A and B are shown apart, each in its own frame.
Chain A
Amino acid sequence: MEWRRWDILLLIVVVLAFFWLRMDLADSAESLSYDSYLTVRSVDHIREYGVPLRDDDLSVANARHISNPIFEYVLAGAMVFSKNAYRIVPNLFMALLLLPLYFIALRFTRSIAASFVTIFLAGFGPIFFSSFLNTPSSTPVAAFLLVTVLALLHDIDKHISLIIFLTIALTFLSPVIFVLVLALAILVVLLRVEGYGVDKRIGELFLFTLILSLWFYIIIYKQAFFSQGVQVLWQNLPAEFAAITFGNATFLSTLYALGVVSFILGAVGMYQSLFEAKSRDAYPVVAGIISVVIALALRITPLVVGLVLLCVLLAVMAGHGLLVSVQYLRKTKFSWSPYVFYAILVILFILSAFLPSLVDAKKSLQEAPSAADVALFQTLGTRLSKDSVLLVPVKEGFAVQYFTKRTIVADPDFLLVQNGDELLRDIDSVYTSRFNALVIGKAQKLGFTHILFTRSAARQYARDHIVAEDATCLPGEHLDDQTILYTIGCTYAGDSK
């Protein structure tokens, strides 16, 4: 009993240390990530008017946003307590996620050491550590709820009320619920195949959750489903954006994202628990892993979300895999070697998980707008008249809208946009065209009055200015060493304004 108290205390210390480390890193960034600012504007809208942002006056192409507003309300509530809630909420839940993970691992491996290894492998999985540091996304909360439900499934008799409550909460919070629904279905099949008999309650929970989640998301995204059809599953993103979001994950990139140790030991643990030990305790986690892999293979979950979930669940299997490997070593001639094995694993862990996770975290924070960018956007907002329309690279859309408070042509929310591919092509052609007549034509078509050429545009289009620049029709003004503001000075016929 005393021992148990000690391990819980250590767990709390680890979770707090992990939270502190993430917060420290997140606070080192001067702003939130580019994608965050639609959520920020929606939360501000809730705080001001009580309802989330739906009709957006600051966007020409995406004048209407639809999304699940529950998490935005949660954030609006959290903002009452702290102005830093956009960073605290995701990082807190990423740290709290280690708690249910520890208990799953403890229940499954019955080893405190292996359970701590599990939470270290998960916590420092490169994709896990570097994601959602400065992005107020519902995914950390959803991942926490998902892992908690999977942890509670080990003892369904005792926790059924809590399971139902958390499942309903997850349904209303994030589409990650469909991963849980699929996991429950796979769990039923696994239990049946392995001859444990089907627990009727899991089947009932599956059916209820499936209907509830489908109904809820069809109601929320009804307008998008009816107008865009099955494309909504991929957020109706243009092909170029869809490839980035839903990704072409290769074996090597997945290995890097999850961490080599997690991957190898996880595979060993999974094989052993599925085909040799046939442990019932492993099935909820295995079902979770299979469902995430299916969702990733079908590309119906964003790559980052899928890999974060996979990283967490695979770490449990890796904890078990470590035990199995050590037990196996002890039976061989190399029974003296566990300490060498541990040393190799620690070195591998540092090289393939710990260091990459720190590097990736720094890199992802650097991708956010810098303080200079923010100041520039704010100055731009005061300089431009209210009826100005800015063309900016789509990726930066939300941040420019937020800081300049001026209308832009397009932002990364394509859900209700007709012909998103055409829109993207038009924007690309403005930044890459050699002819100012084409740029002026696009300005009339898309309705913009200014073009902002930013650092990220320079990177994306591999040039340092718009080639079609012209002193009369497309005069450019350097706002800083790399950012240029172009003003449309002609009409399509070539008349000077």
Chain B
Amino acid sequence: MNKSELEYYSRRFGLVVVIVFAVVLFLTPLLMRTVKGSPITPGAESYHYQRAADIIASGNINYDALHDIRYPLTPAAMLLFVMTIFGVPWLVPILLMVLLLVLLHQYLMKFVAARSVIITTLLCIIVSPTASVFATHHSSILLAVIFALLALILVENSIMWSYACVCFAIITDPVIGVCAVAGIVVARWTRKDRRAIFIGVFILALGAAWYLLWTGSVPRITELIVLRADFLFEIGANAGISIFFIIFAVYGGIIMAGKNNQVIFAAAGCLVASIIFPSLTLPAVVGISLLAARAIVYLLTEQWDLELLQQSLLLLIGCVGLFLVITTVRDRVNESPSQQFSHLMIELRNQYREGAILTAPEYAPVVEYYSGRRAVLSGTDAAALQTAFYSRDPTVVYPFLTDSNAGYIIITREMRSSMFTRSDEGILFLLENSGRFVKMQTSDELEVWYFIRTPQR
């Protein structure tokens, strides 16, 4: 295909094809989940936002009776609340992802001349595992990225509107908000726009004050930073970056070197930062997709010395895309919560015996959403996790369970394989041998135990 043909088709049909492809691709796993009987929205974390929206709908606004706390009212929860009124909360991530693609199209048109590169970038984003997760799960990150992108689009026209968007981005996800401010400050620095820089710093201070007022605590940097060794999709990171994207991005970077170094540095910076701050994975995918798209368009339009390899490589790129699409769709379909898990939680909601539920922290949002009971472990409290799951000492475990009002213990198949190295480790030993736990339900997917509490002396 020659360059002008590719440009023609990209200009004529590009955006429409991208949107239709995105909607079909992101709707497919949700429809398949419905057919399978699983709750339509995948991802345990999604139910944290769903519950926040339900709390708003119940009239409590931001008061969580289950934990007896008030928490900041976020734009993500409010948006979900609005869509819950219409009965389609599961549509929110797809709509937001399509909006992101459209905004990105507009933004990239400013500084990328070739429309084919823009369209290929969007296609790369759509087939990426990260987009598959963000377009189906409820998350504040996608909304924050949209606000940040809006801010970058508006910065040329209206600095005030741009900063207004930054404020929303900071409220939604502080890391992305701060990055948006940094982007604007860098963009205005070259023009020596002191006013814009000053406002940027002022907004950051305001954001910090807002955070402190609502939460009453200073955020620990360790809460924001999660250093991950497995940020690659192919080695098990659900929303990670595909290694193929990185290889093509490197190739694209070599092609672009010297011509557009800012893009290369920005993408590389986002990629490195995303290893430390998971919130930045989506922006990193955008940057990497842009470089990878440059490489793919080069392969489509320029001639290699080994033409046979070039043709084969293009075919291979199609195979890689297909592999990513099939794998991510299958992952979304099989992701928790399953039908069995959600039904069990609803059963627990109707149990007359009181008590919170002890299970792995990642299940906490689903447990709380469906069962209406508190999850004993919902954060990253390593000491509590250690006491609850890894101790065999009854004098340590029983007081912990009693103090945290735990009534039920749920052990899933994934927990057995990922959290425990021995089948009789820690609480697994006590469940089977101590006589203080009654097995209520067991299946190949999970088991539920009831903890018999004794009156405390």
A1 within 8 A of B: no
A419 at the interface (CB under 8 A from B): yes
Whether A419 contacts B306 by the Cβ 8 Å rule is no
Question: In this complex, what residue of B is CB-closest to A418?
Answer: B417
Residues of A within 8 A of B306 (CB): 160, 164, 201, 204-205, 208
Name the residue in B234, B243, B247 with the highest tally of chain A Cβ atoms < 10 Å from its Cβ. B234
The residues of A that contact B305 with a CB separation of less than 8 Å are 200-201, 204
B423 touches A215 (CB 8 A): no
Could you tell me if B316 and A215 are in contact, using CB atoms closer than 8 angstroms? yes
Nearest residue (CB) in A for B250 is A207
Cβ of B112 under 8 Å from chain A: no
Candidate in B229, B313, B417 with the most chain A CB atoms within 10 angstroms: B313
In the complex the two chains form, is A229's CB within 8 Å of B236's CB?
A: yes
Q: A193 interface residue, CB < 8 Å from B?
A: no
Chain A CB within 8 A of B235 CB: yes
Contacts of B235 in A (CB 8 A): 225, 229-230, 232
Known: A204-B304, A222-B327, A226-B236. A211 touches B316 (CB 8 A): yes
The one of B309, B323, B422 in contact with A204, judged by C-beta atoms closer than 8 angstroms, is B309
Q: Does A30 contact B (CB under 8 A)?
A: no
Given contacts A164-B306, A204-B306, is CB(A229)–CB(B230) below 8 Å? yes
A228 CA to B89 CA, complexed, in Å: 34
Among A164, A207, A226, A230, max chain B CB count under 10 A is at: A207
Min C-beta distance of A265 to chain B, whole Å:
36
Taken together as a complex, chains A and B put the C-alpha atoms of A222 and B324 apart, in Å, by 11
Residues of chain B within 8 A (CB-CB) of A228 are 236
- A419 engages B421 (CB within 8 Å): yes
Smallest CB separation, B293 vs chain A (Å): 16
Q: Is B320 touching A215 in the complex (CB atoms < 8 A)?
A: yes
Question: Contacts A164-B309, A208-B313, A211-B316 given: A225-B234 contact, CB under 8 Å?
Answer: yes
Contact residues in A for B423 (Cβ distance below 8 Å): 419, 422, 445
Tell me the complex Cα distance, A298–B234, Å: 20
In the bound complex, CA of A343 to CA of B207 (Å): 81
| Range for the number of chain A residues in contact with chain B | 20 to 34
B244 at interface, CB cutoff 8 A: yes
* Binary interface encoding of chain B residues 318-329 relative to chain A, with 1 for a CB under 8 A from any of its CBs, else 0: 011001000100
Q: A219 at the A/B interface (Cβ < 8 Å)?
A: yes
Contacts of B247 in A (CB 8 A): 207, 210-211, 214
Q: Write the chain B residue with the least CB distance to A199.
A: B305
Tell me whether B429 is interfacial, beta carbon within 8 Å: no
Contact of B230 among A207, A214, A215, A230 (CB under 8 A): A230
- With A222-B327, A422-B421 as given contacts, are A211 and B313 in contact (CB-CB < 8 Å)? yes
B417 engages A230 (CB within 8 Å)? no
Q: Is B310 an interface residue (CB 8 A)?
A: yes
Residue from A214, A230, A232 within 8 A of B244 (CB atoms): A214
Check B421–A204 contact: CB distance below 8 A: no
Q: Inside 8 A of A419's CB, which chain B residues have their CB?
A: 417, 420-423
B residues in contact with A225, CB < 8 Å: 234-236
A433 within 8 A of B: no
Q: Write the nearest CB–CB distance from B117 to chain A, whole angstroms.
A: 19
Task: Write out the residue numbers on chain B whose beta carbons fall within 8 Å of the beta carbon of A164.
Answer: 306, 308-309
Nearest CB in chain A: distance from B286 CB, A: 22
Q: How many Å lie between the Cα of A421 and that of B421 in the bound state?
A: 8
B229 surroundings in chain A (CB, below 8 A): 230
Tell me which residues across on chain B come within 8 A of A230, comparing CB atoms: 229-230, 235
**Cross-chain contact A212 with B308 (CB below 8 angstroms):** no
A74 at the A/B interface (Cβ < 8 Å)?
Answer: no
Q: Smallest Cβ distance from B319 to chain A, in angstroms? A: 6
* A218 with B234, Cβ < 8 A, contacts A422-B421, A422-B422 known: yes
Q: Enumerate chain A residues within 8 angstroms of B310, measured Cβ to Cβ.
A: 204
Cα A198 to Cα B234 with chains together (Å): 31
* Binary interface encoding of chain A residues 414-442 relative to chain B, with 1 for a CB under 8 A from any of its CBs, else 0: 00001101100000000000000000000
Q: Write the residues of chain A forming the contact surface with B, with a CB cutoff of 8 angstroms.
A: 160, 164, 200-201, 204-205, 207-208, 210-212, 214-215, 218-219, 222, 225-230, 232, 418-419, 421-422, 445
Query: Known pairs A211-B317, A215-B320. 10 more at Cβ < 8 A?
Result: A201-B305, A201-B306, A204-B305, A211-B244, A211-B313, A211-B316, A212-B316, A225-B234, A230-B229, A419-B417
Which 10 pairs, one residue from A and one from B, show the smallest C-beta to C-beta distance? A229-B236, A208-B309, A229-B235, A418-B417, A204-B306, A230-B235, A201-B305, A422-B422, A208-B313, A200-B305
A selection of 19 A-B contacts at a CB cut-off of 8 Å is A204-B309, A204-B310, A207-B313, A208-B316, A210-B247, A211-B244, A211-B313, A212-B312, A212-B316, A214-B247, A215-B244, A215-B316, A219-B323, A226-B236, A227-B236, A228-B236, A229-B235, A419-B417, A421-B421
